[in-house]
Structure 1
Amino acid sequence: MLSKSTEQVSDDHIAAVRAFNRFYTRKLGVLDQHLGKTPFSLSEARVLYELAHRDDLAAKEIGNELGLDPGYLSRIVQSFDEKGLITRTPLAADRRQYQLSLTAKGRQAFAKLNLSSQNEVAAMLAQLSADDATRLTQAMATIEAVLGQRRSRPAAFVLRSHRVGDMGWVISRQGAAYAADYNWDISYEALVAEICAQFIKNYDAAREHCWIAEMEGEPIGSIFLVKATDEIAKLRLLQVEKKARGLGVGRALVEQCIQGARERGYSKMTLWTQSILVAARGIYKSAGFNLVATEPHHSFGQDLIGETWERDL
């Protein structure tokens, strides 16, 4: 029997939502046994996504977040473990529960899955005009905001290619962030401006790219892939807004940059950072980069220790 509040819901509204659900699932093909052209089911892909974007989750947390049956989740975790995609560590507070983390193989599998999903959505959006694509994503944001307004979980973020106006944002936010966090002077902003200007002037889509992280229509981070040599790609200007830290944005940007370098035929990646940038160094290390050289220097009004990191692709 329907509750009084449920009885007050318009039949037309119910029919409209059900019709939209049928249309949307057909459009995206999520009723297929496997997601896109990957070997993963929709539920397996959702678990991979959670592990890729949130550090050291317990299996029980994933089950609660995604509403998965414990038995079904257990089978997914067992399958991932057997395939070498995850590591399982018993929790100190409850040895019956496990903390899950993606292995390097697991991160590679997620990167392929993520790229496949991005390509499918890109193909769908390519059929729309720029105005229609904006209307569509704004409508989606409205749906998420209305249906998710009682949830406490942070909003999801997306990675997109750079567009007009982004370079100005990168220069402004990099300069302001490093001045606030590390007291670097305006010469750093000048360096970022020079890097961005050269990137735009010499942009070669076959060899270089910039990704902007965006949440609820607002930029929250960036990363650049630029050519060092024909064989070596350089990662530059990783930055995440303070309000978006802890959501896995930095890790997602670095993984996307690595995947982008592989797709463009590079055999190695390199980057230059500073010893005081602890969070960024942690991301680089977990992504497979190795520290190969250090050099003290005085730049941006500070005494710093520059570090060169590399990884094979």
Structure 2
Amino acid sequence: MESIQNIENIRKFNRYYANFLGKIDQEIYNRPIPLTEARVITEINLRNGCTATEIREHLGIDRGYMSRIVQRFEDDKIIYKKNSLVDKRQYLLYLTDYGKEVFNGLVENANREVGNMIQSISKIDQSKIVKAMETIESIFSQQHKNLEVSIRSFKPGDIGLVAHLHGKLYDKTYNFGPLFEYYVMKGLTEFMVNTEGGDLWVALVNGEIVGSIAITHSSDSVAQLRWFVLDEHYQGLGIGKQLMETALDFCKQQNYQHIFLWTVSILNTARYLYQKYNFTLTEEKPNEEWTESQLMEQRWDLDLTTDN
């Protein structure tokens, strides 16, 4: 009963604070630099030499909208681009001298308006507000503080946990039935019989398996990426990226020229990561086995002979 009351109180505060922040934003951010664009400028300043994709992921901005923001900033001489030394198809973003002036103006304006907002509040109450904000930030940040993340090849006992992770996550999040877990377990047991040309890696957080990825041999030049999964509680920490890069590095070491994978269209986070690593959608087919509604299976391919 107490837990339900806590949840309701948190939701009540969240509604109040969202409205409160909205009023602050309306006071501080005006055209020609609205809130979202101001946040992008701030991120470019903080992440000097970042990509548009990194900012878009962090702020949750639509791809098309982000593209328009970057184009406008470039046209207005707020930012400039440099080719990435790692991937020449990617551009790193930097503020121009004029862009730094714009950023400093935003900071000054924000400080002035927030100062006006709190000037009628006593110093004691201001301290209480700041302390409460620091407490909220500290408690929530503790969820992922001091996490020891590691990636390693599978060991005896891991395979069952990988199947369990798939079954649990896909049932809870996407309402996949038990047949899907059977499909995963069947493939994993077949892989255990013959691992030649492949490997399976698990991601551990403080010693607990929270994700996996595997490469299996399809032909002398072609590999298949399989069993890529990550516990939803640990998404956003870069673990999926570590798993993907581990698998791709292995493929290059094995001299594979091509890699493909099968997924389903509803797995938006995974699909976005595939696109980030230059996989392209090559095939779709319906699947009516795993859920009550029809799914669309997708094949994604990556040519490893090009400079990715």
Q: TM-score, normalised by structure 1?
A: 0.55
Deviations 1:163-208 (A, max 9, x none): 011001011110011000010000000011101101111122xx10
Measured in 1, the distance between the counterparts of 2:156 and 2:210 equals: 16
Map 1:51-70; keep pairs closer than 5 Å: 55-56=54-55
Alignment pair present for 1:304 and 2:295? yes
Deviations 1:246-280 (A, max 9, x none): 11111221111111111112100000000000000
Equivalent residue number for residue 277 of structure 2: 287
Measured in 1, the distance between the counterparts of 2:278 and 2:156 equals: 32
Equivalent residue number for residue 182 of structure 2: 190
Measured in 2, the distance between the counterparts of 1:248 and 1:55 equals: 11
Report how far residue 297 of structure 1 moved. Answer: 2.1
Gaps of 5+ in 1: 1-46, 58-79, 98-150
Instruction: Answer yes or no: is the 8 Å Cα contact 2:165–2:211 preserved in 1.
Output: no
Equivalent residue number for residue 225 of structure 1: 215
Instruction: Answer yes or no: is the 8 Å Cα contact 1:295–1:307 preserved in 2.
Output: yes
Identity of matched residues, %: 27
Structure of larger gyration radius? 2
Map 1:99-248; keep pairs closer than 5 Å: 152=142, 154=145, 155-204=147-196, 207-248=197-238
Report how far residue 88 of structure 1 moved. Answer: 2.8
Report how far residue 83 of structure 1 moved. Answer: 3.4
Deviations 1:75-100 (A, max 9, x none): xxxxx967355633357xx9339xxx
Measured in 2, the distance between the counterparts of 1:260 and 1:95 equals: 41
Instruction: Answer yes or no: is the 8 Å Cα contact 2:152–2:201 preserved in 1.
Output: yes
Instruction: Answer yes or no: is the 8 Å Cα contact 2:84–2:91 preserved in 1.
Output: no
Gaps of 5+ in 2: 1-46, 57-81, 102-140
Report how far residue 296 of structure 1 moved. Answer: 1.5
Measured in 1, the distance between the counterparts of 2:100 and 2:270 equals: 33
Measured in 1, the distance between the counterparts of 2:91 and 2:274 equals: 19
Measured in 2, the distance between the counterparts of 1:214 and 1:248 equals: 13
Secondary structure of the residue that 1:265 maps to in structure 2? Answer: coil
Give the paired residue count. Answer: 192
Call closer, same or farther: CA 1:189–1:84 in 2, change over 3 Å: closer
Instruction: Answer yes or no: is the 8 Å Cα contact 1:255–1:287 preserved in 2.
Output: no
- Aligned CA-pair RMSD: 3.5
Code of the residue aligned with 2:85 in structure 1: it is K
Deviations 1:191-226 (A, max 9, x none): 11101101111122xx10011111111111100100
